[in-house]
């Protein structure tokens, strides 16, 4: 997939990518939650 000579290198980058995606999803989820709350407040 990433075409490294050593599987350990690919595994290392895969862990970094997984961690980064997880962190970004938490941030995105928080933004959606805030927007949803604001939408509900404006709707009432």
Instruction: Give the count of beta carbons closer than 10 Å to the beta carbon of residue 30.
Output: 10
Q: Give this prediction's pTM.
A: 0.56
State residue 40's pLDDT score. Answer: 77
DSSP alpha helix (H) spans, the chain: 7-43
What is the torsional sign of CA 13, 18, 23, 25? positive
pLDDT band at 1 (very low <50, low <70, confident <90, very high): low
pLDDT tens digits for range 4-41: 788 888 888 888 989 999 999 999 999 888 877 777 77
Please, which residues have CB within 8 angstroms of residue 13's CB and are 6 or more apart in sequence? 2, 4
């Amino acid at each position: 997939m990433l075409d490294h000579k050593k599987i350990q290198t690919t595994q290392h980058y895969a862990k970094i990518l997984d961690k980064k995606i997880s962190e970004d999803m938490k941030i995105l989820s928080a933004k959606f939650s805030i927007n949803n709350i604001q939408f509900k407040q404006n709707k009432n």
